[in-house]
Amino acid sequence: MREIKYIILHCADTPNDKYFDIEDIDRWHKEKGWSGCGYHFVITRDGKLQKGRDIERVGAHVYGYNSKSVGICLIGGKDKDNKPNLDMTLVQDGALFNLITKLKEKFPEVNIRGHYKVSEKTCPNFNVEKWLEESKL
């Protein structure tokens, strides 16, 4: 098993009111020439947890951190005006909380960061630090 130091949270940068899932992300990443979905997990707007790359495989989701991180992507990220804003659904929030709780059991020293903390992005288009504090994670 590789060493996991980070959980990096992402959003798909898709409209919050449209359905997308891991099959869409897999196709988009293959169109970029990648081997498939670069995330380890995807959480749909209706709260489904979908498995991407095996956690033992290096992801393709954040330059410079892939080898030591787990990538989680939340579907959504754009409001009705196409501006960055992940209006997380209640079931998405619960699925993310449960997933992070399980990952922290396996990797107790892991640091959880928004993509924006390690790259010049707004992704995941919500304040991760505030969410972690409010979730008591």
CATH of domain 6-135: 3.40.80.10
Least confident of 45-54, 66-75, 79-88, 96-105: 79-88
Nearest by Cα to 118 from 72, 71, 77, 62 = 62
Query: Mean per-residue pLDDT for 82-95?
Result: 95
3-class secondary-structure state, position 111 = strand
Look over the chain and give the mean of its residue pLDDT values, rounded to a whole number.
96
Q: Measure the CA–CA gap between 103 and 8, rounded to whole angstroms.
A: 12
Q: Is the pLDDT of residue 93 over 90?
A: yes
User: Which positions are annotated as active-site residues?
Assistant: 10, 39, 115, 121, 123
pTM greater than the 0.85 cutoff: yes
pLDDT (tens digit per residue) in 27-44: 999 999 999 999 999 999
Nearest by Cα to 22 from 71, 82, 58, 68 = 71
Q: What are the backbone dihedrals phi and psi of residue 78, each rounded to the nearest 5 degrees, phi first?
A: -125, 135
- The percentage of the chain sitting over the pLDDT mark of 90, rounded to a whole number, equals 96
Amino acid making up residue 49: L
Query: Mean per-residue pLDDT for 3-24?
Result: 96
